[in-house]
Structure 1
Amino acid sequence: MKFLYLVFALFLLFSLATPGYGKVRKTCAPVGYCSPKCRVMDLKYTSADCKYSCCIPTTWKGK
């Protein structure tokens, strides 16, 4: 039984340490633009419809 607990704990730690685990990928089209490199003041995140990353201009951050 202790072995099963150990296997489950290792699986849980591995799955939570995986980058991007549990993140919902949103669309970029209505508020931002797709680009391999964002401007310095833009917010950068991954998106389902962008190959590289979605860049949101600073005017959209608070809206």
Structure 2
Amino acid sequence: MRFLYLVFSIFLLVSLATPGYGQVLKYCPKMGYCSTKCSKVEIWARSSDCKGHCCLPASWKWK
């Protein structure tokens, strides 16, 4: 049982350590675009004005 707690806690820490991935935005910024699939070099986020994901360039700064 302790092993499962350890695995879950490591998974949780890794998922929290990746900045930006899967964040929820109010709208997709002008430098991003709505798509069902983003390329590997882009960061994706959920947005209320996109049906799929909001794809943003990797150089975009999170505010």
Name 1:33's counterpart in structure 2.
Answer: 33
> Matched residues in 2 for 1:37 and 1:44: separation?
9
Contact 2:24 2:45 in 1 (8 A): no
> Over aligned residues, Cα RMSD in angstroms?
2.4
Question: 1:43 Cα deviation (Å)?
Answer: 0.4
Structure 2 length-normalised TM: 0.51
> Matched residues in 2 for 1:45 and 1:24: separation?
6
Q: Match for 2:55: what amino acid?
A: C
Q: Residue deviations 1:12-48, cap 9 Å, x none? A: xxxxxxxxxxx75321141200000000010011001
Large movers: runs of 4+ above 6 Å: none
Q: Match for 2:31: what amino acid?
A: V
> Which protein has the bigger helix share?
1
> Which protein has the bigger strand share?
2
List aligned pairs for 1:1-63, cutoff 5 A.
Answer: 25-61=25-61
> Matched residues in 2 for 1:39 and 1:56: separation?
10
> Matched residues in 2 for 1:62 and 1:27: separation?
13
Structure 1: stretches of 5+ with no match in the other structure: 1-22
Q: Percent identity?
A: 46
Structure 2: stretches of 5+ with no match in the other structure: 1-22
